[in-house]
Amino acid sequence: MNALEKHRYRNAAAILAGILFTSFVVLQANSPQIGNPPVTSEFHGPEEVTRILKRSCYDCHSNETNLRWYDKVAPFSYKVAADVEEARKRFNFSEWDSIPKADQEGKLWYIVNMIDAGRMPLPEYTATHPSARVTPEELAILKNYVTGISQHYAAGDTARIAEKARAASVPKSINGIAYFDDYKNWKVISTTGRPDNGTSRIIYGNDIAVKALEENKILPWPDGAVVVKVVWNSQAPDAWGNVKPGNFNNIQIMVRDAKKFAGTEGWGFARFNGLDLKPYGKTVSFATSCINCHQLAKGTGFVFDIPTRPQH
Amino acid sequence: MKSLITFILAILALTACHDPRELTPAPETIFTENGLHVITSFHNNLTRTISVLYGNDDALANAGKERDAHTPGEVLKLITWDLKQNPLWFGSNINGRVQSVETVTVSAGPSGPVIGYAKDGNSQKASGNAVSGNAERISFIFAQRASVFP
């Protein structure tokens, strides 16, 4: 390399460094600011539970975000700001009491299950904030806590409901999935008891869904597979410990159509509440919260309640 | 050296562990009902079992009523599975392998309905007093009321 070439390279390197430095400065100047709005209705739980949640969740899921200096450096600050914004939208411990009690319980179970599955706190967050990690002992404390707050049973006795309220016309979810009766002729693929929310369930699958299970072709499930879940409120256990279904609660339908429901991993969701089968969800975006939770069942094609055994 | 071996063994043990979320379908637990309808279901945390009661048209019609009379032709099948924690959701229990299939039939006899009882499954021969045990199971199955469906 001659002197002229050396000089040229040096110049190019200097210009590149200049561009990078200017971009860095511009990014810093425009770096998003994360404010901490007032704490209006804070979460209240046992001290040991609150301590874990504060340390592991509050940086994103509260108005008490504690940014470290490196969280404020662009380009990382952009990602941090986006994460905090999304996290506060999902649930916010600083505005906890603004949501109904039943939703609070549901969210706490969801939180515990996200931690249990290793999806929360976000691995990229714990990599830079190792103190936010939840230890197995702490997870056990959280599991005990949610189990303790969820001992509820319905007083309803199925057998005493003489008259059924009937939906006037065929109820249809906002995404076009209509209620139908035919699932009663399908095979039961599983049945579940949910102490977390005091319900009992029977899960049916159509022929396509059952065949997919039989042939272990659920990653992904074939188009046309339909899974229906009928949910009752559980009655209190009888003298022998049998927990029987009480009042009908809701019916949930999952329809597989990879193209039509591409935005929700190929599954269309619908839920009809009460014996009058009131469709759940005011806008089609309701299904986003469905699939967010069903991400925990990614290994079984986003369906929670199928019969399984450990993979060998 | 000893601690190094322990460390290597611990690493091996950890890598050998299966992820509890790596699951494969278990279609053998699905019951083929052959024209029967679901009457009801229940689970029991003490016995760690979960059950679905099926019945034919006659059985379903009578299971909604608060009376003990049964008509010839009724067939009831109670399927009982192990109850296990749902590996995908802490807080939910789901059925595991099939434990037993109990069948109760009502047929016409010379002096009123005759009740038949049969049980297939692992614990078939466990019952000491078969006759009184059966009577208990028959009345338990008859006592179940139909779940309300929309």
Whether A310 is in a domain gets the answer no
* Same domain (yes/no): A102, A177: no
* Same domain (yes/no): A196, A129: no
* Same domain (yes/no): A191, A214: yes
pLDDT band, residue B14 (cuts 50/70/90): low
Output the pLDDT for position B124. Answer: 39
Whether A33 is in a domain gets the answer no
Region of A118 please: left (phi>0), alpha (psi -120 to 50) or beta.
left
Per-residue pLDDT of chain A in tens (312 residues, 90 and over written 9) = 577 788 888 888 888 888 888 877 777 767 777 888 889 899 999 999 999 999 999 999 999 998 888 888 878 888 888 999 999 999 999 999 999 988 898 899 999 999 999 999 999 899 989 999 999 999 999 999 998 888 666 655 554 554 555 666 899 999 999 999 999 999 999 999 998 888 999 999 999 999 999 999 999 999 999 999 999 999 989 999 999 998 899 999 999 999 999 999 999 999 999 888 999 999 988 999 899 999 999 999 999 999 999 987
This model of the complex carries an ipTM of 0.84
* Same domain (yes/no): A177, A277: yes
* Same domain (yes/no): A237, A187: yes
Tens digit of pLDDT for each residue in B55-64?
Answer: 999 998 888 6
CA distance A196 to A106: 8
Picking from A14-28, B4-18, B21-35, which range would have the lowest pLDDT averaged per residue? B4-18
Output the pLDDT for position A26. Answer: 74
pLDDT, averaged across chain B: 83
Which residue of chain A comes nearest to B38, CA vs CA?
A184
* Same domain (yes/no): A226, A289: yes
pLDDT band, residue B103 (cuts 50/70/90): very high
Output the pLDDT for position A72. Answer: 83
Residue after which a domain boundary falls, among A83, A117, A149: A149
List CB contacts (< 8 A) between A110 and chain B. none
Whether A311 is in a domain gets the answer no
Whether A269 is in a domain gets the answer yes
* Same domain (yes/no): A189, A283: yes
**Between residues A30 and B102, which one has the greater pLDDT?**
B102
Whether A3 is in a domain gets the answer yes
Mean pLDDT of B11-20: 57
Tens digit of pLDDT for each residue in A101-120?
Answer: 888 988 999 999 999 999 99
* Same domain (yes/no): A21, A51: no
* Same domain (yes/no): A79, A126: yes
* Same domain (yes/no): A289, A167: yes
Least CB–CB distance from B89: residue in A157, A210, A304? A304
Is the CB of A196 less than 8 angstroms away from the CB of B20?
Answer: no
Output the pLDDT for position B112. Answer: 83
Output the pLDDT for position B35. Answer: 86
Whether the CB-CB separation of B147 and A158 falls below 8 Å is answered with yes
Whether A236 is in a domain gets the answer yes
Residue after which a domain boundary falls, among A114, A149, A184: A149
pLDDT exceeds cutoff 50 at B126: no
For residue A103, give its domain range. Answer: 47-149
Q: Which of B17, B54, B8, B23 is CA-nearest to residue A307? A: B23
* Same domain (yes/no): A178, A141: no
Cis peptide, bond prior to residue A75, ω within 30 of zero? yes
Output the pLDDT for position A212. Answer: 98
Backbone angles phi, psi at B133, to 5 degrees: -60, -45
Whether A42 is in a domain gets the answer no
Whether the CB-CB separation of A305 and A229 falls below 8 Å is answered with yes
Q: Which residues pair with A256 in a beta bridge?
A: A267
List CB contacts (< 8 A) between A242 and chain B. 42-44
Is the CB of B94 less than 8 angstroms away from the CB of A192?
Answer: yes
Whether A5 is in a domain gets the answer yes
The total number of structural domains in chain A stands at: 3
* Same domain (yes/no): A136, A170: no
B114: distance to nearest CA of chain A, Å?
26
Output the pLDDT for position A68. Answer: 84
B82: distance to nearest CA of chain A, Å?
11
Output the pLDDT for position B13. Answer: 54
Q: Which of A107, A113, A191 is the best substitution to test chain B (most B C-beta atoms within 10 A)?
A: A191
CA distance A56 to A48: 12
CA dihedral A198, A204, A209, A210 (to 10 degrees): 110
pLDDT exceeds cutoff 60 at B122: no
